[in-house]
Amino acid sequence: MPELPEVEGVVRALAPVAIGRTILKVIISDVVIESKAQGKEAVIKGMTTDQFIKNMVDMKITDLTRRSKYIYIALQREGIEYLLVSHLGMSGAWFTVNSIDEIVELKFRRHIHVIFEMTDGGLLVYSDIRRFGELRLINREADHPPLLKMAPEPFDDQACGYFLDFALKPKYAKRAIKDVIMDGHVISGCGNIYATEALYRMKIHPGRKAERISLKRKKELFNVIVEVLQESIDAGGSTISDYRNINGEAGTMQNRLEMYGRKNCPACNNETKSMKIAGRTSVYCPRCQR
Ligand SMILES: [Zn+2]
């Protein structure tokens, strides 16, 4: 599942080629149309496919940014502003091409769900193999309240204090630290991969209760999370399963992960263990992490 660095990779690649262009036509896959007709919220959220198409036509892309694991695509038509919020789910991917044939990886080409035909003839394509991604068109962020409940960006000055406050709340203090740092209300954009790495670097057992970690260690842990996220952004993200930034390009952070997906600990060579925390597989070294 793409985490913050992967979404940042998409935004950095997509923004320069998408901003300033205008949508001429929108084509939605039969799979999504049929699924939506049955009342399911497949990919397009909060409106029918017809409404979505009607709303998107003639929109100009004025900005494209990241907020946590969401891509915010600012749009404008006749002076009115809109926001298309894109979440990549498990396997969402964006492509900017002149024809569909340019999408060489078949698994992406076979699962194209939305094509935005631009006025300049180019295509902005959204592919999603597992269809857990979301495209939600709203007027402003406040129209979708869950977006306002996200923790600050981890790189913002107030983010560490925000995390420390939350970790002390009764609701969080008794939970496993890994569960707490992966909660988007507490820290923005730290998913399974980077939580696993940060806890390994800090030699903290993922199942340790938040209240059993000192304030000083929690601060250090926060700084290590930011460090790991930044390292991954610099490496173009981790290419794990179906993540690509845009146009099928891949990052290299997966080569630098020391614990995620490892069978042996690189420090002591002991076999790693795994446990389920908040429904996610958590890998750790039973010797190094306490
Ligand atoms: Zn070890």
pLDDT tens column, 210-238: 999 999 999 999 999 999 999 999 998 88
Compute the distance from residue 212 Cα to the ligand 1 centre, in Å.
21
pLDDT at 182: 96
Helix axes 4-18, 215-234, angle to 10 degrees: 40
pLDDT at site 1 = 74
* Residue 250 pLDDT: 76
Cα(219) to ligand 1 centroid in Å equals 23
Q: What is the pLDDT of residue 262?
A: 94
pLDDT tens digits for range 6-49:
999 999 999 999 999 999 999 999 999 999 999 999 999 999 99
Q: Is 220 exposed, middle or buried (0-12, 13-18, 19+ CB in 10 A)?
A: middle
Active site residue 3: yes
* Beta bridge pairs of residue 284: 273
pLDDT for position 68: 95
- 27 alpha carbon – ligand 1 mean position (Å): 51
110 is catalytic: no
Is this model's pTM higher than 0.85 or not? yes
Compute, in angstroms, the gap from residue 200 CA to the centroid of ligand 1. 9
Euclidean distance between CA atoms 136 and 72, whole angstroms: 10
Q: Are the C-beta atoms of residues 136 and 83 closer than 8 Å to each other?
A: no
Check if the beta carbon of residue 184 is closer than 8 Å to that of residue 254: no
Give dist(CA 251, CA 237) in Å, integer.
5
Closest CA to 187 of 159, 221, 224: 159
Q: What pLDDT sits at residue 47?
A: 95
Of 60, 203, 209, 280, the active-site residue reads: 280
Bridge partner list, 209 = 176
Q: How many Å lie between the centroid of ligand 1 and the Cα of residue 289?
A: 7
Q: Is 227 annotated as catalytic?
A: no
Choose, from 36, 66, 69, 136, the residue flagged as catalytic: 69
Active-site residue flag, 280: yes
- Single-letter amino acid code for the residue at 75: L
Per-residue pLDDT of the chain (290 residues; tens, 9 = 90+): 789 999 999 999 999 999 999 999 999 999 999 999 999 999 999 999 999 999 999 999 999 999 999 999 999 999 999 999 999 998 899 999 999 999 999 999 999 999 999 999 999 999 999 999 999 999 999 999 999 999 999 999 999 999 999 999 999 999 999 999 999 999 999 999 999 999 999 999 999 999 999 999 999 999 999 999 999 999 988 887 666 777 777 788 888 899 999 999 999 999 999 999 999 999 999 999 99
Question: What's the pLDDT score for residue 242?
Answer: 64
Report pLDDT for 241.
62
